[in-house]
Chains A and B, each alone.
Chain A
Amino acid sequence: MTPRTIVPVDASPDGSETIRRGSSASGSCHSPGKPTRLQEANAVRVVLAGAPNVGKSALFNRLTASYATVSNYPGTSVELTAGIGTYGEQTLHVLDSPGIYSLLPSTEEERVTQRLLLGGEYDVVVHVADAKNLSRALPLTLQLCELGRPLVLAVNMIDEAERLGVRIDYARLSERLGVPVVPVAAIDGRGVDTLRAAIATARGSSRPPLPVYENGVGEIVEAARRRIGGRYPVDATAVLTLAMQDDAEARALLDGAGDAYAVDVPEGLTQQLGGPPVYRFAYERKRAADALLAGVVDGMRAPSAWTERLGRLLARPLTGFPILLLVLYVGLYKFVGEFGAGTVVDWIEGTVFEEHINPAMEELFAPLANAALRELFVGEFGLLTLGLRYAVAIILPLVGTFFLFFSVLEDSGYFPRLALLVDRGFKRIGLSGRAVIPMVLGFACGTMATMVTRTLETRRERVMATMLLALAVPCSAQLGVIVAILAVSPAALLVWAAVMTGSFLLVGLLGARLLPGDAASFHMELPPLRLPRLSNVAVKTYTRMHWYFREVLPLFLLASALLWAGDQTGALPVVIAGLAPVVALLGLPAEAATVFLFGFFRRDYGAAGLFDLQQTGLLDVTQLTVAAVTLTLFVPCIAQFLMMLRERGAATAFGMLAFITPFAFGVGFLLHLLLRGIGW
């Protein structure tokens, strides 16, 4: 496909090169200028590699001070930054490669880094690792050791690690790894001179020792090594381990060297290794990394055996899904539904508002001679009796209990396990486990979640996730209210959950068929599971409630004022009369039309209206279920729609709206027919 070469520092393959910085005058190692001839003769080609956001670019800027160029890697749109620095009489040609988590690529950028590293046209690889998350970085260090080329481990962000109380025994780590380990703080330049010296010394030094993998993995790699006869730009171990993980680039290299027979087919390897090679290699590398780090890092708690075991149970489908159901039952049904809606809302609305605040307000506004003005404050759509009551007495306790539950899950480290659990299912609907991030956030706020979809890798994923968020993921307030309403009948809650899941999967599967493309792959290092800290949970819950209340109260008051204005001008009854036939199709009374009108403002405002309607006893269980389903599938709130416009463009956003509105009412209508048909 593309030649495996490092992009020349002073020339661009496609002419897109741009000068980022001018040259500096001095030629010292602290402020390198234009290299001398002697320095050119002693040029060291350096590749900076490492995970995204570990400070590679900051370190690149420290190492180079002149002639930095940005150009596309041949045949791709991936940008590479190259620059020149000096160390004494040596010139450092430094290339900043795109971030990678492992040598096994899942994106075009990672593929470029893999090609660079397998191409071998460099003298030294500098692995930039985050000092705060060293255990995550070390598996990649081991893979880079497999390349058999001089390697330096630059442990960056030591300033932040020190602030966290993390202490690292660099000498011991260097001794165990067999490569120089240099602590660096690229942000203030600490350790950069030492790193330059280490790079200069590493050039031409002996290759790093190959990592030792256990449980049969090492033996299989060694046996394959003995079978090969071709020549490779880097040590064959790296090529073999990648080929065993079915990497196309590595298999092509083996093919080209006439060694394709050395590596078994994936099925055979799965049998020999006792599991998919990708997972077996990742597991063994992690084990080896943990062993290397034992006694090296101090100040970070090691996960205990029981949390590791529980973590595995949470991520495996056989045990993970029953645990998920249990978590939802206890957290949502019992805590948010029964305690939040039953106990807390009853007390705030029934006692505080009905017995104290509302009578006091009515008394306060009674002297107001103008009836319409009085209605504005304490009437049917009054700012105090509707807007404030919905926000304070219904929504706030429900989102409060929901955010408490959410913060507990977040602080425990459950979410990444959930991502792994659903990864396979998500792939079927064109998403990867990474899409769990916006989906989980969608249960807090759909607007924020829609913005987060931009972090997904492909356009297909972004469109799918935006659509599913708008359709079938209720926000915190809406979820709280719906769980509260349907808590009267667990069967109704089950029907609602089944319809939501069904709609999610149906639209997802349809979308996956209509939108061409492959599902993005998902790799993630799991953080340790831990007991949630009370202070963390309390702070997160408070902060979220505070933000939500500040956002929701003005909007609820505005919606109440608009409804009051509509009521006073006579427009509201006309609109409600227009909606009445639609709600009648769903088997709902005419009063429910107001709820759907509320829903146009915000889904949570509509849900609060539904809660109010349920309190009056006007709806039976079937009607509640149908109304809850329709309202959840209904158009997202105005803020979320604005975000959809911004992120996906007008055509896609309005297209989604045109699909969602009839879909919501259609599903509600069919559910009404079905439930009435079976005599529910």
Chain B
Amino acid sequence: MVTRCKEARTPPAARTIRCGFCGGSFAEDRGQPACRGCPLGSGCGSIRCPACGYENTAAPAWLDTLVARASRWRRKLMHVRGGS
């Protein structure tokens, strides 16, 4: 019988967050989620910078994607205008 290995799914790369206080960059999964232990429960989406402890606002993924697409369109538009 031929067995076929299931292709392992690579998890998506963690976003890089630039700390709003110390300016250091860290992968989202290396920051400590601030929600643990907060009486308000989850929802604020803050990510604590592992270097300085500042609570950074982590935008929802869809918003990040939207902003990235918008900036790509802007660059393309500028490129088209510059080229014409």
Taking CB atoms and an 8 Å cut-off, the chain A residues in 435-478 that contact chain B are: 437, 440-441, 445, 447-448, 451-452, 455
Q: Is A646 an interface residue (CB 8 A)?
A: yes
How many Å from the CB of B73 to the closest CB on chain A? 12
Taking CB atoms and an 8 Å cut-off, the chain B residues in 28-48 that contact chain A are: 30, 34, 37-40, 43-46, 48
Q: Is A120 an interface residue (CB 8 A)?
A: no
The interface size bin for chain A is: 35 or more
Are A415 and B21 within 8 A (Cβ)?
Answer: yes
Are A646 and B39 within 8 A (Cβ)?
Answer: yes
Q: Which of A350-358, A522-530, A588-596, A608-616 contacts B (4 or more CB under 8 A)?
A: A522-530
Are A543 and B55 within 8 A (Cβ)?
Answer: no
What's the Cα separation between A164 and B21 when bound, in Å?
Answer: 19
Are B55 and A527 within 8 A (Cβ)?
Answer: no
Across the interface, which residues of A come within 8 angstroms of B21, CB to CB? 410, 415-416, 419, 437, 440
> What per-residue 1/0 map shows which CB atoms of A530-554 lie under 8 Å from chain B?
0000010001101110010011000
Q: Is A51 an interface residue (CB 8 A)?
A: yes
How many Å from the CB of B58 to the closest CB on chain A? 7
Are B27 and A551 within 8 A (Cβ)?
Answer: no
Residue of A nearest to B39 (CB): A642
Q: Is B78 an interface residue (CB 8 A)?
A: no
What's the Cα separation between A524 and B54 when bound, in Å?
Answer: 13
- In the complex with contacts A163-B13, A164-B16, A535-B71, A639-B43 CB distance below 8 A: no
Are B70 and A53 within 8 A (Cβ)?
Answer: no
Are A53 and B30 within 8 A (Cβ)?
Answer: yes
Are A411 and B40 within 8 A (Cβ)?
Answer: no
Are B22 and A525 within 8 A (Cβ)?
Answer: yes
How many Å from the CB of A117 to the closest CB on chain B? 21
Q: Supply 28 A–B pairs (Cβ within 8 Å), ascending by A.
A: A130-B24, A132-B16, A133-B25, A160-B16, A164-B16, A415-B20, A415-B21, A437-B21, A437-B52, A437-B53, A441-B55, A448-B44, A451-B34, A451-B38, A452-B48, A452-B54, A455-B53, A524-B52, A525-B22, A526-B23, A527-B22, A527-B23, A542-B59, A542-B63, A543-B58, A547-B45, A642-B39, A643-B39
- Enumerate chain A interface residues (CB-CB to B < 8 A): 51-53, 130, 132-133, 136, 160, 163-164, 410-411, 413, 415-416, 419, 434, 437, 440-441, 445, 447-448, 451-452, 455, 524-528, 535, 539-540, 542-544, 547, 550-551, 639, 642-643, 646
- Enumerate chain B interface residues (CB-CB to A < 8 A): 13, 16, 20-27, 30, 34, 37-40, 43-46, 48, 50-55, 57-60, 63-64, 67, 70-71
Question: Contacts A132-B25, A528-B23, A551-B44 given; 7 further ones with Cβ under 8 A?
Answer: A52-B51, A434-B52, A441-B54, A448-B55, A455-B52, A535-B71, A543-B63
